[in-house]
Amino acid sequence: MDQTSSAVPGAHQPLVRHDILFTVLALAILFLTIVPVGMAVFWLGFARGDSPCVMCWEQRIGMILISLVGLFVLRFGPKPKYIGMAVLIAAWGIFMGMRHTGMHAARDVGQGFSTEILGAHTYSWALFIYWVCVVVMGALLLMVRGEHLQTDPRTLRGIERLAGGAFLVVVGANIVQAFASTGPPPFMGQSDPVRFSFSPRHWTWSLEEWNPVRISLRGRWAVHKPGLVTVVSDPAVGPLVNLPPLTVKERKPLKLTLDGSPTDLAYDLATDQFLLTTAKGVYLTDGTLARVNRYTIIDPGFSVDVGRIAGTAFLDAGAVIAVGENKSYVILRPNDQASADSNFRFFLESRDRFDEISRSRFATVRARLLYIMSAAYDPASNAVYTVTVPNNRVKRLIVSRFDRRDLTLSEEYSPPLSPESGLTLGPNRALDELTVTGAAVADGQLFTLSAAYGTLLTIDLGLRQVVAAHAIPGLTRPTGIAIKGGELYIVDAAGMLTVVARPPAPYLLSRYRRTWGTASFGSK
Amino acid sequence: MEFLNLVLIFTTAFLVLRRPGRERLAFRLLVISTILMVFLFSVATRTGLLPGVNY
């Protein structure tokens, strides 16, 4: 019993609160010390041989420090500087948990790093435990009264002494494990620690974490948005040597009224219409690109962040797809009876000309850290294709195929040069240097147009190889390509239209039909 | 370095529990341990200081 409290008339209630505060705090310290930290060192470490990685160590130490602040409060009362330290450590702990969990959170189900406990890996629990610490600290603060802010050290009661003793035991055990697993200074924890052993013969002390490396905020995720400002358009300095040029038949400005620069182009033989996109606009035009039949302006920020539309294609049954640089997409279907009010959420302008069928995201594996600037649809395989563009971190040309039925990744590859193509790369050059901004499928071949080096690649979709390549002279920042009969229609960022003779089909074309056209997709 | 930090923490707890008159020293050790933890985590994650996910 506290004499100060009992001396105040009617102070029975504050006295009870006083005891409850420190009792609850002692129990919280015991829980934090024994359950996550104690189990980690005694059960996972000493019994099962688990060694914390360097990030796990710091998360564990953060929990220990919160318990230590709790001991300060038990002894000296809830002074503001202790509360401040606890909040700072818990906030840092939540950050550590996010940083660590972020490395593994997007992996396939069940995957992770090291040990799983009750269905979650240890670092996931760290994030949760720090969150619980903040909640408990908030609850304890609600119980603080003026009489708790005494200046003299308190005499610890039984439960409080037990908390202190448990803390020393658990920290002592951690000292033993830390010495065995990480070693004395300057050795420190490791990214991939060897399992714990009491035998010095199996101890691994490492300085690898001190090695000089590039410091970055976002690491490999610091990918710049794609752009064409710096691309070199001259085919003569491209990665492929001695490319045959295609004949340019016509070059003229587009006469269409658009809400921005063209970003892609597609053509549909059945309706004799072109499909043209801008950053937010989707336009259906006549077969000569002279008149807009219908258009709409997509609200790119509604629900799925589509970002800047960079690729487009006609799909089955009149539907069209517009794909953003970030591989998010919108599927639309023309409808003369569309409700402008119902479509308010989807479109910024011309809301009664299309219905939105779906809006979602393509997920990739190899192309995960790469943007795209093109899209194409292949009716034979009933699939949508995208091709990546290089960025400041990753330079790879990856073709991704998404099955139309579930719009899920079905294939990914970096197409090599076909040995029979006769194509040759320059010394230390690679197809990964190409910036594919337009793609179209015809006769089982994916025609990909690179804004960099004005190069047209012909990729056989059955062989998954580049079977031909051509130079297109005079292109400046082309953004889209469509195939109409024997001609390639190319639009660029300046609104120019270039018509080029379609290259002759390589002999390899027939293989595609044998492999895919009749076997895998015989119904098409 | 984790070993060093845990020894500092153990010492701090000992001061709090057995030498409460050394409160000022104990608090300084607490601050040093916290800074050391932040520093070591930052060293370990300096190739990507922020969580590696979409923002």
Number of neighbours of residue A288 by Cβ within 10 angstroms: 10
Q: Which of A58, A87, A325 to mutate to test the interface with B (most CBs of B within 10 A)?
A: A58
Per the CB < 8 Å rule, is B30 touching A72?
Answer: yes
Identity at A358, one-letter amino acid code: S
Handedness of CA B5, B8, B12, B13 (dihedral sign): positive
Q: Is A465 helix (H, G, I), strand (E, B) or coil?
A: strand
Task: Pick A85's closest partner by Cβ from B34, B41, B54.
Answer: B34
Per the CB < 8 Å rule, is A99 touching B23?
Answer: no
CA distance A71 to B55: 38
Structure-block tokens of residue A285? 């035009």
Residue A17 has pLDDT above 60, yes or no: no
By the CB < 8 Å criterion, does B3 face chain A? Answer: yes
Q: Residue A450: what are its φ and ψ, rounded to 5°?
A: -100, 125
Q: What is the band of A7 on the pLDDT scale with cuts at 50, 70, 90?
A: very low
Chain A / chain B CB contacts < 8 angstroms? 156
Residue A15 has pLDDT above 50, yes or no: no
Residue A147 has pLDDT above 50, yes or no: yes
Q: Residue A106: what are its φ and ψ, rounded to 5°?
A: -95, 10
- Write out chain B residues lying below 8 Å of A178, CB-based: 2-3, 6
CA distance B53 to B55: 6
What value does the mean pLDDT take over residues A418-433? Answer: 95
- Write out chain B residues lying below 8 Å of A64, CB-based: 6, 9
By the CB < 8 Å criterion, does B14 face chain A? Answer: yes
CA distance B18 to B20: 6
Per the CB < 8 Å rule, is B47 touching A214?
Answer: yes
Per the CB < 8 Å rule, is B9 touching A64?
Answer: yes
3-state secondary structure B1-55: CHHHHHHHHHHHHHHHHHCHHHHHHHHHHHHHHHHHHHHHHHHHCCCCCCCCCCC
pLDDT at A518: 37
pLDDT at A504: 83
Per the CB < 8 Å rule, is A218 touching B20?
Answer: no
Per-residue DSSP letter, A417:
B
- Write out chain A residues lying below 8 Å of B47, CB-based: 213-216, 219
Helix extents (H) in A33-79: 54-76
pLDDT at A269: 94
- Write out chain A residues lying below 8 Å of B10, CB-based: 168, 171-172, 175
Contact status, residue A477 vs residue A233, Cβ threshold 8 Å = yes
Task: Pick A171's closest partner by Cβ from B10, B31, B47.
Answer: B10
Per the CB < 8 Å rule, is B21 touching A216?
Answer: no
pLDDT tens, residue by residue, A362-374: 999 999 999 999 9
Kindly report the nearest CA distance between residue B41 and chain A, in angstroms.
Answer: 6
Q: What is the band of B55 on the pLDDT scale with cuts at 50, 70, 90?
A: confident
Residue A520 has pLDDT above 60, yes or no: no
Per the CB < 8 Å rule, is A189 touching B1?
Answer: yes
CA distance A57 to A48: 17
pLDDT at A507: 55
**Strand bridging mode A328-334 / A354-361:** antiparallel
pLDDT at A150: 75
Give Cα A498 distance to the centre of its chain: 36
Kindly report the nearest CA distance between residue B28 and chain A, in angstroms.
Answer: 11
pTM of full prediction above 0.80:
yes
Is the link from the previous residue into A212 a cis peptide, with omega within 30 of 0?
no
Contact status, residue A376 vs residue A446, Cβ threshold 8 Å = yes
pLDDT tens, residue by residue, A391-416: 999 999 999 999 999 999 999 999 99
Question: Could you tell me which chain A residue has the CA closest to the CA of B3?
Answer: A178
Q: Is A458 helix (H, G, I), strand (E, B) or coil?
A: strand
Q: Which of A37, A76, A99 to mutate to test the interface with B (most CBs of B within 10 A)?
A: A99
Residue A521 has pLDDT above 80, yes or no: no
Question: Could you tell me which chain B residue has the CA closest to the CA of A192?
Answer: B44
pLDDT tens, residue by residue, B3-50: 999 999 999 999 999 999 999 999 999 999 999 999 999 999 999 999
Per the CB < 8 Å rule, is A168 touching B41?
Answer: no
Out of A169-183, A187-201, A476-490, which region has the weakest mean confidence (pLDDT)? Answer: A187-201
What value does the mean pLDDT take over residues A134-163? Answer: 90
Per the CB < 8 Å rule, is B6 touching A216?
Answer: no
Q: Which of A72, A304, A369 to mutate to test the interface with B (most CBs of B within 10 A)?
A: A72
- Write out chain A residues lying below 8 Å of B52, CB-based: 99, 102-103, 218-221
Place of tokens 């004005």: A454
Task: Pick B47's closest partner by Cβ from A55, A168, A219.
Answer: A219
Contact status, residue A432 vs residue A397, Cβ threshold 8 Å = yes
Q: What is the band of A165 on the pLDDT scale with cuts at 50, 70, 90?
A: very high
CA distance A416 to A35: 54
Structure-block tokens of residue A402? 């998404």
pLDDT at A6: 35
